[in-house]
């Protein structure tokens, strides 16, 4: 099969950590042709297409990839599956890209479904499951946030369009910086934010659980650095092995039907204590960490899923 990956500039990806590269390497190992594009290489002219370039990976070498030929314009239906793996920000360029990918769907699997990517904001998606989450508020109104903070004494505030822990701040009653932080995050009440009751277990880390087709396939704990409240690996958090407890499994089971309805094949959910805090759908990470900690080869499981899902579809690839 031919598989297409929509990614950020490949030279900026980290071969020891990046999940898209892990998927690409697993596909190559299973005998499939791997192609890469950036969003600027997608187009629609008499149908959706891509100026795609085939490549070969060897993730433990330097350089870790080599191009096999020059970019070539071809219809997206030439690819069995298209992986949308461009990192946020989730901006208008991202949304326009999902329009192109939606047109590719009759012939190609698109992971994740472009409709789901548009509808399932990674911070706001959890609001569909109020029984699973900590007390949460989505608003742009500063007085509403102050009232929420007074009731809960400590809270975490984050922008809806951030990634990798960017812009996450802790609010505490009595902190003289609260008003400034609200101005900064809401941009003077012009931008929605997510505010959640602070969970003290955050200092011991949260669980990242990878979900493939509704089933948990790997998990680990992300432990914040000593001088940071954020459990994001991109800002220095470390990882440790973990197991799913009954509450974790309950959360996964509760999410599965909605993920399927929204076309979210691959997701990374974050669980803090007994509570779901985020559902990451744009470019979830953690595949390399799960395998390094002795867990499943999630990248291989992903490609095997694509192989099964492609059976019976019109084959041009």
* 191: annotated active-site residue: no
pLDDT of residue 313: 65
* 222: annotated active-site residue: yes
Measure the CA–CA gap between 300 and 308, rounded to whole angstroms.
12
* 143: annotated active-site residue: no
pLDDT of residue 106: 87
* 230: annotated active-site residue: yes
Q: Which of 115, 110, 87 is nearest to 99 (CA)?
A: 115
Measure the CA–CA gap between 262 and 155, rounded to whole angstroms.
30
Q: What is the pLDDT of residues 75-119, one digit of tens each?
A: 999 999 999 999 988 889 999 999 999 999 989 999 999 999 999
Is 3.40.50.300 the CATH classification of the domain at 135-198?
A: no
Domain spans, the chain: 2-119+303-310, 135-198, 201-295
* 12: annotated active-site residue: no
Q: Which of 2, 85, 86, 123 is catalytic?
A: 123
Topology agreement, domain 135-198 and domain 201-295: no
* 250: annotated active-site residue: no
pLDDT of residue 233: 74
Q: Which of 113, 207, 280, 288 is catalytic?
A: 280
Q: Which of 113, 161, 278, 300 is catalytic?
A: 278
| CATH code of domain 201-295 | 3.30.470.20
Measure the CA–CA gap between 9 and 281, rounded to whole angstroms.
20
Tokens of 258: 């909605």
Q: Which of 2, 85, 86, 158 is catalytic?
A: 158
* 128: annotated active-site residue: no
pLDDT of residue 166: 81
Three-point CA angle 245, 246, 250, nearest 5°: 120
* 170: annotated active-site residue: no
Q: Which of 122, 270, 289, 300 is catalytic?
A: 270
- Taking 70 as the pLDDT cut, the residues of the chain under it are 231, 312-317
In the CATH scheme, what architecture does the domain 2-119+303-310 have?
3-Layer(aba) Sandwich (3.40)
Number of H helices, E strands in the chain: 8, 17
Q: What is the pLDDT of residues 197-209, one digit of tens each?
A: 999 888 888 999 9
Q: Which of 113, 230, 232, 288 is catalytic?
A: 230
């Amino acid at each position: 099969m031919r598989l297409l990956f929509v990614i950020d500039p490949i030279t900026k990806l980290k071969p020891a950590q990046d999940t898209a590269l892990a998927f690409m390497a697993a596909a190559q190992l299973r005998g499939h042709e791997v192609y890469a594009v950036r969003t600027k290489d997608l187009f629609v002219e008499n149908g959706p297409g891509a100026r795609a370039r085939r490549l070969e990976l060897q993730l433990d070498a330097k350089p870790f990839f080599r191009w096999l030929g020059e970019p070539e314009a071809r219809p997206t239906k030439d690819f069995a599956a298209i992986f949308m793996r461009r990192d946020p920000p989730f901006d208008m360029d991202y949304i326009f890209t999902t329009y192109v990918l939606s047109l590719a769907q009759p012939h190609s699997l698109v992971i994740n479904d472009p409709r789901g990517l548009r509808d399932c904001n990674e911070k706001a998606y959890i609001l569909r499951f109020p029984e699973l989450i900590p007390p949460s508020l989505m608003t742009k109104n500063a007085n509403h946030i102050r009232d929420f903070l007074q009731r809960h004494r400590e809270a975490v505030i984050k922008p809806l369009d951030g990634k990798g822990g960017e812009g996450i701040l802790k609010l505490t009653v009595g902190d003289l910086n609260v008003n400034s932080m609200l101005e900064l995050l809401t941009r003077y009440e012009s931008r929605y934010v997510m505010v959640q009751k602070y969970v003290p277990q955050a200092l011991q880390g949260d669980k990242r659980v990878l979900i493939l087709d509704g089933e948990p396939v790997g998990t680990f704990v992300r432990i914040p650095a000593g001088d940071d409240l954020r459990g994001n690996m991109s800002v220095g958090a470390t990882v440790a092995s973990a197991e799913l407890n009954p509450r974790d499994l309950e959360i996964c089971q509760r999410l599965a039907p909605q993920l399927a309805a929204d076309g979210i094949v691959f997701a990374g959910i974050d669980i803090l204590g007994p509570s779901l805090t985020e559902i990451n759908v744009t470019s979830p990470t953690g595949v390399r960490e799960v395998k390094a900690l002795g867990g499943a080869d999630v990248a291989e499981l992903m490609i095997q899923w694509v192989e099964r899902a492609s059976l019976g579809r019109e084959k041009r690839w």
